[in-house]
Amino acid sequence: MVKVRNDVVSDLKEIFFSYMKVEVLEQLNAIKVKWLPKYSMPVYSVEKKLSILLKYCHHPEQI
């Protein structure tokens, strides 16, 4: 169970550390395919706050 939780968290971190909007959306779709059947709450939570996350994707990587 802990390994699965760590895998979910690792996949979700990919979204938070992405710089480009396209990357975030691609990673979110990949996470939905992989984790939505088993772990819908974390996926739902990220989708719900996606507009906030995408605000940070419009800045250059150097910032």
pLDDT on residue 55: 79
Q: What token pair was written down for 55?
A: 């605000």
Q: Is residue 25 part of a domain?
A: yes
Distance CA 29, CA 27 (A): 5
Number of domains in the chain: 1
Task: Answer yes or no: are the C-beta atoms of 15 and 31 closer than 8 Å.
Answer: yes
pLDDT at 33: 93
pLDDT value at position 32? 92
CB 58 within 8 A of CB 21: yes
Residue 20 confidence (pLDDT): 82
What's the domain range around 49?
A: 2-58
- Say if 46 falls within a structural domain: yes
pLDDT digit of tens for each residue in the chain (63 aa)?
Answer: 778 888 888 888 888 887 788 888 999 999 999 989 988 888 888 889 888 878 777 666 565
